[in-house]
Amino acid sequence: MPGLIKGPALFLAQFAGDEAPFDSLPSIARWASDLGYKGVQIPTGDARLFDLDLAADSQTYCDEVAGICADAGVQITELSTHMQGQLIAVHPAYDIAFDAFAPASVRGNPSARREWATDQLIKAARASRRFGLGTTVSFTGSLAFPYLYPWPQRPPGLIEEAFAEQARRWTPILDAYEDQGVDIGFEIHPGEDVFDGATFEMFLAACGGHSRCRINYDPSHFLLQQLDYLQFIDIYHDRICAFHVKDAEFNPTGRQGVYSGYQGWTDRAGRFRSLGDGQVDFRGIFSKLAQYGYDGWAVLEWECCLKSPEQGAAEGAAFIADHIIDVTGKAFDDFAGGTTGRDQIRAMLGIA
């Protein structure tokens, strides 16, 4: 039976800051609630909002955090480990840039950095269970993405070895999530090794079809790749466990296309936009998700090259609420039906 999508909810990562109301969980949760949000997705790497190390081991702390959110009028939807997940697999080309995602004690040491990130992922599983959550959201990281466009030709076996190594790193983490009864919804995203359906299938196969390996569906990344994001739901709906509601637009010119010519955010052919300002067919998406019984949260992730985060958040709650479908329990022509037994059915078919 189709379920009812929960929401609207807000991913707090892009809003957290050093000034009120964005500098603490009580104040940012109240701000979100006042805008009409019913849930918040918490970035576990932002110490201004959350202490993951404490949450992994303290039920008292988790109860306090849940109480803070409840007092503000919101629920915790998922814990995010995007930044830590990114560090599970880092190609050397990205080492310096991604060091910023890690504590100073492990920077410049890829092995120690990955060990720290692995520990963080496992702690997020334990913390999620303490909150009674069944889903987290994350990134896979990347070993193969620098070889996306095959010139010179990739040597045979390079991609296969990259995904085999990803599986060696991620399978023990997924097993730890299995122990806690928690899924990881990987955000399928250019820059990660898993950036479309084909690469998700490769990653999933390498991980042995692991039941905890699932998808955080974000159509903005698919529109910018010119991927059919509605058919994606048809194909992978049984693996979708989370939903980032984010808009985007793709306006190719005679100068640039999908790769956007190294241009800045506002000058790219492909740009992220606030909800309703882009080209994503959210009516179609919410209909597809309702059709397949998705009953998780619809979480706004704000990333817009033009509009302020405050305006985007204020408009986003009403936008999501307007798109959530109150799924019917009836067929439109039920009123015309009646109880029909086998004898009547056989008579209707002209069967003696």
Judge whether 252 lies within some domain: yes
Percent above pLDDT 70 for the chain: 97
**Is the predicted pLDDT of residue 46 greater than 90, yes or no?**
yes
pLDDT of amino acid 1: 47
Phi-psi region of 344 (alpha: psi -120 to 50; beta: other; left: phi over 0): alpha
Judge whether 18 lies within some domain: yes
Residue span of the structural domain in which 225 resides: 6-348
Listed in sequence order, the residues at least 6 apart from 19 whose beta carbon sits closer than 8 Å to its beta carbon are: none
CB-based contact 133:76 (threshold 8 Å) = yes
Judge whether 343 lies within some domain: yes
pLDDT of amino acid 271: 97
* CATH assignment at residue 180: 3.20.20.150
Q: What one-character-per-residue DSSP string does 244-271 give?
A: EE-EEEE---SS--TTGGG--GGG-SEE
**Is the predicted pLDDT of residue 333 greater than 80, yes or no?**
no
Query: Which residues are bridge partners to 138 per DSSP?
Result: 186
Phi first, then psi: what are they for 111, rounded to 5°?
-65, -45
Judge whether 279 lies within some domain: yes
| Domains identified in the chain, total number | 1
pLDDT of amino acid 327: 87
**Is the predicted pLDDT of residue 277 greater than 60, yes or no?**
yes
How confident is residue 266, by pLDDT bands cut at 50, 70 and 90? very high
Mean pLDDT, residues 131-157 taken together: 96
Mean pLDDT, residues 233-251 taken together: 98
Residue recorded with tokens 């019917």: 328
Provide the token pair at 124.
Answer: 């997020």
Identify which of 22, 92, 47 has the alpha carbon closest to the alpha carbon of residue 55.
47
Identify which of 256, 189, 198, 172 has the alpha carbon closest to the alpha carbon of residue 223.
189
Cα–Cα distances in Å, from 256 out to 26, 247, 268, 272, 273? 44, 20, 8, 16, 18
**Is the predicted pLDDT of residue 159 greater than 90, yes or no?**
yes
Q: How far is CA 299 from the centre of its chain?
A: 8
**Is the predicted pLDDT of residue 261 greater than 50, yes or no?**
yes
pTM: 0.95
Judge whether 1 lies within some domain: no
pLDDT of amino acid 278: 98
Mean pLDDT, residues 221-247 taken together: 98
How confident is residue 329, by pLDDT bands cut at 50, 70 and 90? confident
| pLDDT tens sequence across 181-199 | 999 999 999 999 999 999 9
**Is the predicted pLDDT of residue 73 greater than 90, yes or no?**
yes
**Is the predicted pLDDT of residue 336 greater than 70, yes or no?**
no
Separation of alpha carbons 44 and 215, rounded Å: 19
Q: How far is CA 26 from the centre of its chain?
A: 24
Mean pLDDT, residues 57-66 taken together: 98
